Amino acid sequence: MNTRMLVTVSITLSIVSCVFLLSLYFDRPTIYLVANSVVPVYSSLEQASSSLSHNSITDLEPDQAVEIIQCIDVKHYQLYKIRLPNGQIGFVDEGRYVLIRDGKPSSC
């Protein structure tokens, strides 16, 4: 093979690999947070991570499921950025809940 053909094959394989890896990333199943009891939801990461914060924007009711948008590492625990049913974004820290992916308990 000549050099030009090797470069073309190399570029093609790189593109195919990138498309494959991107499809794996974007085809990941959604993770849901399902409340086991009343769970407070805060409007900001700062409020959710503050031990003094008592001003939640809403509460998740038992068995209510919401989509997790992002898992955020904070010190030795995680906070969850969620999408509420009305589309509003909120943050969850404390509370009794389980994370579910594909109908099974999961983690971020």
Q: Is the pTM of this model over 0.85?
A: no
* Predicted confidence band of residue 27 (pLDDT cuts 50, 70, 90): low
The residue-averaged pLDDT of 35-57 equals 87
Tokens standing for residue 87: 């589309």
| Mean pLDDT over the full length of the chain | 84
With beta carbons less than 8 A apart as the criterion, state whether 30 and 106 touch: no
What one-character-per-residue DSSP string does 19-35 give?
A: HHHHHHHHTPPPEEEEE
pLDDT score recorded for residue 51: 66
Q: What is the pLDDT of residues 75-90, one digit of tens each?
A: 788 999 999 999 999 9
pLDDT score recorded for residue 20: 55
What is the set of domains in the chain, with CATH numbers?
Answer: 31-105 (2.30.30)
